[in-house]
Amino acid sequence: MAKLYFRYGAMNSGKSTALMQVAFNYEERGMRVFILKPSIDTKGGECLLSRLGVSRPVDKAVTPDMDVFELVQKEAARGDKPLACVLTDESQFFTPQQAEQLFMVTVKLNIPVIAYGLRTDFSMQGFPGSTRLLELAHAIEEMKTICTCGRKATCNGRKVNGEFVFEGDQVAIDQENNVEYQSLCAQCYFAEREKFYQRHPRVRV
């Protein structure tokens, strides 16, 4: 039986790089993959980007109104080779309904799905898509990275103009309005959070 895998990790844990490696492994063996990412992730346009400098186009940038199951079903019916695997990047940006549709790809089409994404945002709140993937996935795997202090990083810090911030919209893509992200351990995350509220005492905690 095909399975839905959710592979999550903090920022810069190598998720996109790992996805491209998995795609390469399938294709090296003559097998066909279908790569998706949510259209809200404008970084790289319709390509996957790795910090190592590797990139490749996605097969479809998915808008929130699209039925992912139907997309995969149509792709599976095309071509002379069966579809071996569906790979999704930035999966936290899928809607909960689209997460369910990915699950149904494994159930009804018997095609494995490997979804890569963040578990929580910069304020340690779950993304709706990730929450649903955590509820539905047959297998959940953590991809590890480290904080600048050397501890395991589990949190995602957002910087605006070089300063950590802890208020704002859940989604703010890199390089828009000088936004960048940094993976942090819990100790460093809460130390930076305390500094932020010391500088901005009137901001709601």
Q: Which residues are catalytic?
A: 90
Residue 105, Cα to own-chain centre: how many angstroms? 18
* Residue 116 annotated as lining a ligand binding site: no
On the 0-12 / 13-18 / 19+ scale of CB atoms within 10 A, 37 is: buried
- Contact predicate 113/5, CB 8 Å: yes
Distances (CA, A) of 80 to 30, 43, 106, 143: 12, 32, 20, 34
| Side chain identity at residue 104, one-letter code | M
**From the annotation, which residues make up the binding site?**
181
**From the annotation, which residues make up the binding site for substrate?**
181
